[in-house]
Structures are given as structure tokens and as C-alpha cells.
Amino acid sequence: MISRLPVLLLLIALFSVAGCVSDQPEPDTGEAYYLKGLAEYTAGNYQAAEAAFEESAIWYFDQGLRDEGITSRNAMFRAFRTYAEFGLTEPMARDALREKVPGITETEIDPKLCSH
């Protein structure tokens, strides 16, 4: 029994740290906020994206990470400009195109509205 004790302790140590490894960034970090901003932007939630990018920029600047802070701040401004300068939602833009261009098809509309 005593000869198995070191093996048992090693297994306990390995199992205790196995759940501590993750590919996800820690919550409340610049990277986590930035990734949230990207997800919100992709989903078309530009105001939520702006807020997440702002949190990311603040976190990075507070940590002294100037380049990452600038990247986040630029993304924040891009999200703001998207909803401030382009007031139509995608469905509204589709309706406007259908109204102004009689006979336009969805196949013709998609490339005009979708950048991904």
C-alpha cells in the first residue's frame, strides 16, 4: 500500500489541474471583451459591439498594452460609425432596394448588402 502512495498522489495532482486548462480567454480581459465585440458586430448588434470594444480598449490601456488598446478603440469607432452613419437595418435596406429598384431579386440584393 505504501508503494502506491506516490502514484496515487501524482494522479490526484494531475486530475486536479486537468480542469484548469482552457483555450478560452479569462473573463473580464481585453481579449474576452474584444471577442465579444467581434461576435456582436458579426451578429449586427453594433451598439453592443461598440460597448464591448470600449471595455476591451479600457482594459488594454490600463494594462499598458497600447497597440491592443488602439486596435480595440478603432473597432469601437468602426462599430459606432456603422450604426450612426448607416441608419438602416438589413431588412430596412432590402425593403428600400425593392422599392427603388423594381424587379430586383434577392440574388442581386445579397452582394450589395452582405460583406461576408
69 or 102, greater pLDDT: 69
Query: What's the pTM?
Result: 0.58
Domain residue ranges of the chain, discontinuous segments joined by +: 26-85, 87-116
User: How many Å apart are CA 17 and CA 34, to the nearest integer?
Assistant: 27
Q: How many other β-carbons are positioned within 10 Å of the β-carbon of residue 49?
A: 25
59 or 28, greater pLDDT: 59
The predicted structure's pLDDT at residue 116: 43
User: How many Å apart are CA 42 and CA 78, to the nearest integer?
Assistant: 12
Q: Provide the grid cell at 13.
A: 495532482
Q: Which of 28, 29, 46 is closest to 37 using CA atoms?
A: 46
